[in-house]
Structure 1
């Protein structure tokens, strides 16, 4: 499976990542990627940038070194209603919005509570992707989440970092979500969740898990610029 884009990448602005936009773009270009999304954490994460940072992403060119840049966010869910830590007015102006449950931001809860929180997040009209839904810190009813992802047309991420250096215990949960996504026809992406430029585009473990469960490139958004654009274009209908 070949990927044209990495849609989950952090810069030094996240406060716990270590590369600049220029370093990330250079790594993406060297690996033959056509697109990369800059998705720093929202303001609720300790060390993350303020809300104005995301408004000022307009200062970043849309393309560098032949690599298209999506200006986005990995927004943090901050309550059980699925509220995000950036207002909808700013979210609407970003190219891509990832959202996820993170320690220090989202409350822990039961399977029922976590599932409701994740589904409530999907109801936000600007959310494009739910990241690392297999995180064992927030156990969920995976079938209900996948069905909601189809209903609200939100993609679910297979997070390569969860399969390597973070969120231990994620693999069986990710595999379960992948199988359900195949059953119900949910959209998937593979993301590195890179916090250092050399990890950009490194999706081997996610690829292996997807392919082992019979997922072809047609079911994974970031294997095609056309699929990415089509998924993100559905946001335009929500501005009317």
Structure 2
């Protein structure tokens, strides 16, 4: 496997329950040879999360911090089974990378059918680039339907390293199944650390174990070339230089 140089899912103190600044995250990324991180703080529906002004003012963040390129993003909350996200279009269209995720404090876990519908409907938004931690056992899904929709709507599927250790306990088996099915279908995979403290930025070991066992090749992993990620986002209409 090629070296992973991109972390597509990181949080700062703005998320409310994370503990590092964007500067601290970039310093740690630089130490580990990470060339680009996406700053994807939780959307405003998350209790304790940032106000919408946080996302309106992302323009003040430098493109590079301590030599690490920063994409200004969001982990948007899916707030209903119709796939509605918790940030308005005016602000969403200016954001460079969007993860859409299900969190039980923002939406009540539903049936397999409900959860699957929520993810697929979220993918229909032109703003969504990644489905976050789809292996969460609190939100069981019909894996093949979600993966097929992700290909159709050109959305990446995340294998979330945090889910395999410190959060969403019980995700390993689900993530393994998702990765195996994705390897057969040809989904594009985004590995995200979901860091809530700087020390876990760029730590992908458990996620790498899963994708290697599944046989996902380098061409289908977005994290091994920052230009590959940026080109993907540009083709989706994101305003990235």
| Coarse TM-score class (shorter-chain normalised) | over 0.9
Structure 1 residue 81: Cα displacement: 0.7
Contact 1:134 1:174 in 2 (8 A): yes
More deviation, 153-162/207-216: 207-216
1:229 partnered with 2:225: no
After TM superposition, what 4+ stretches of structure 1 lie above 3 angstroms from structure 2? none
Aligned-partner Cα distance in 1 for 2:227–2:214: 24
1:39 is matched with 40
Q: How does 1:1-240 map to 2 (within 5 A)?
A: 1=1, 2-236=3-237
Aligned-partner Cα distance in 2 for 1:48–1:206: 26
Structure 1 residue 107: Cα displacement: 2.4
Aligned-partner Cα distance in 2 for 1:93–1:13: 18
Aligned-partner Cα distance in 1 for 2:94–2:115: 28
Aligned-partner Cα distance in 2 for 1:73–1:237: 13
- Give the TM-score normalised by structure 2: 0.96
For the aligned residue pairs, the C-alpha RMSD in angstroms reads: 1.2
Contact 1:77 1:83 in 2 (8 A): yes
Contact 1:160 1:190 in 2 (8 A): yes
Specify the SS of the correspondent of 2:145: helix
Contact 1:80 1:107 in 2 (8 A): no
- The count of aligned residue pairs is 238
Task: List alignment gaps of at least 5 residues for structure 1.
Answer: none
1:66-121 CA-partner distances (Å, limit 9, x unpaired): 11000000000001110000012211101100110001102211101110111001
Task: List alignment gaps of at least 5 residues for structure 2.
Answer: none
Structure 1 residue 195: Cα displacement: 0.3
Specify the SS of the correspondent of 2:236: helix
Aligned-partner Cα distance in 1 for 2:217–2:53: 39
1:159-195 CA-partner distances (Å, limit 9, x unpaired): 0000111111111111111111111111101100000
Aligned-partner Cα distance in 1 for 2:237–2:77: 23
- Give the TM-score normalised by structure 1: 0.97
1:29-55 CA-partner distances (Å, limit 9, x unpaired): 010111011100000000001111101
Contact 1:62 1:69 in 2 (8 A): yes
Specify the SS of the correspondent of 2:57: helix
1:199-225 CA-partner distances (Å, limit 9, x unpaired): 000000001111111112211111111
